[in-house]
């Protein structure tokens, strides 16, 4: 079974350690407009606030109210169309599924997750646990991995390195606080380690999408918060659950920490940029995954 409850608990514990309170009423938010584009192409990261090497105050705690929501519910709303290659006849599986328990003992419901979203509809049953690993590299709504023939987990972890690198560059461009940049850098190094552990030889090969053009600076906050929410808040929490379910505690802990970082990042963006707040509210309204409700409440305006 997918260990969603443990993953949600881990993410909440990391948020609490970071000073994000989940027990009080939400505070009012005054979002500032997106920054003007830099006057020259040579603007350095050191011009961003809180990157002067001096002491930095701890991030403000964000107080929100978390409803008493059970986490053991169906994932039907996050499932996808059944694969034609499902081996259901061989194992006498049901024709479709929405959660692991639909497939019986020692079987898994495989949902079509593209690294950023689950589509609606049924999945298919399999004896093999599905792999949803790492933060996806999403360019113009499409998930990218290296083209070489490698295990799926290795390709996804490899792409996560580029995803975190692009997030770091975006945070620097927006003047993010130093603690977010530092945590994102540590997460990048985690993904390098995960990829190295999954590689079977010298590596997955080229990934041209890693240097795809960034959004314009004025639209960057909204684009980044959507990417962070889908690939980080949702995707990394689900990746943690999958890792924990197969007994990989180390990766499960790493992905839960990355998910908590995504929530921190989304909160910072929503609290500083009006367009990001609006984009995040739209994402929350469209997400009906009740198993993650205790986490999603952290992001409510």
Query: In the numeric block, which tokens belong to residue 235?
Result: 């995707």
pLDDT in tens, 12-39: 999 999 998 765 444 444 344 444 444 4
- Higher-confidence residue: 201 or 155? 155
Q: Say whether pTM exceeds 0.75.
A: no
SS3 for 186? helix
Q: How many angstroms separate the CA atoms of 12 and 3, rounded?
A: 15
Average pLDDT, the chain: 73
What is the C-alpha to C-alpha distance for residues 5 and 36, in angstroms, rounded to an integer? 42
pLDDT at residue 224 greater than cutoff 80: yes
Q: Is the pLDDT assigned to residue 123 strictly greater than 80?
A: no
Give the start-to-end residue ranges of the domains of the chain.
4-27+62-73+132-299
pLDDT band for position 268 (cuts 50, 70, 90): very high
pLDDT of residue 142: 72
Stronger pLDDT, 13 or 71, i.e. the higher one: 13
Answer for the pair 270, 280: CB distance below 8 angstroms, yes or no.
yes
Residues 158-196 have pLDDT tens digits of 888 999 999 999 999 999 999 999 999 999 999 888 888
Task: Provide the pLDDT for residue 103.
Answer: 82
Mean pLDDT of 115-127: 64
What's the CA gap between 34 and 218, in Å, rounded? 6
Q: Which residue has the higher pLDDT, 50 or 152?
A: 152
| Confidence at residue 178, expressed as pLDDT on a 0 to 100 scale | 97
Which pLDDT belongs to residue 85? 39
Asked whether residue 136 carries a pLDDT value surpassing 60, the answer given is yes
Give the three-state DSSP class for 124. Answer: strand
Q: What pLDDT score was predicted for residue 57? A: 40
User: Which pairs from 201-207 meet CB under 8 Å and 24+ separation?
Assistant: 203/158, 204/145, 204/146, 204/148, 204/150, 204/154, 204/155, 204/158, 205/146, 205/147, 205/148, 205/150, 206/146, 206/147, 206/148, 207/137, 207/144, 207/145, 207/146, 207/158, 207/159, 207/162
The per-residue pLDDT for 93 is 59
Model confidence at 199, pLDDT cuts 50, 70, 90, reads confident
CB atoms within 10 A of CB 78: 25
DSSP state of 37: P
The per-residue pLDDT for 269 is 98
């Amino acid at each position: 079974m997918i260990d969603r409850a443990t993953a949600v608990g881990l993410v909440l514990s990391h948020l609490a350690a970071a000073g994000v309170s989940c027990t009080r009423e939400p505070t009012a938010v005054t979002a500032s407009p997106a920054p003007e584009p830099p006057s020259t192409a040579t603007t350095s990261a050191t011009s961003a606030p809180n990157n002067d090497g001096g002491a930095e105050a701890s991030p403000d705690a964000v107080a929100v109210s978390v409803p008493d929501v059970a986490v053991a519910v169906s994932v039907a709303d996050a499932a996808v169309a059944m694969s034609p290659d499902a081996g259901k006849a061989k194992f006498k599986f049901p024709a479709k599924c929405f959660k692991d328990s639909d497939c019986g003992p020692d079987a898994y419901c495989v949902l079509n997750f593209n690294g950023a979203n689950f589509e609606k509809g049924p999945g298919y049953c399999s004896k093999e646990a599905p792999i949803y690993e790492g933060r996806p590299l999403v360019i113009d709504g499409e998930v990218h991995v290296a083209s070489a023939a490698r295990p799926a987990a290795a390709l996804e972890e490899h792409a996560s390195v580029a995803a975190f690198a692009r997030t770091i560059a975006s945070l620097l461009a927006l003047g993010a606080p130093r603690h977010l940049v530092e945590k994102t850098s540590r997460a990048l190094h985690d993904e390098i380690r995960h990829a190295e552990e999954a590689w079977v030889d010298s590596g997955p090969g080229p990934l041209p999408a890693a240097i795809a053009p960034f959004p314009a600076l004025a639209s960057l906050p909204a684009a980044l918060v959507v990417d962070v929410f889908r690939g980080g808040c949702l995707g990394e929490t689900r990746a943690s659950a999958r890792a924990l379910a197969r007994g990989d505690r180390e990766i499960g802990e790493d992905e839960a920490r990355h998910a908590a970082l995504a929530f921190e990042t989304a909160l910072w963006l929503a609290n500083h940029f009006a367009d990001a707040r609006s984009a995040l509210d739209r994402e929350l309204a469209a997400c009906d995954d009740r198993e993650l409700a205790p986490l999603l409440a952290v992001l409510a305006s």
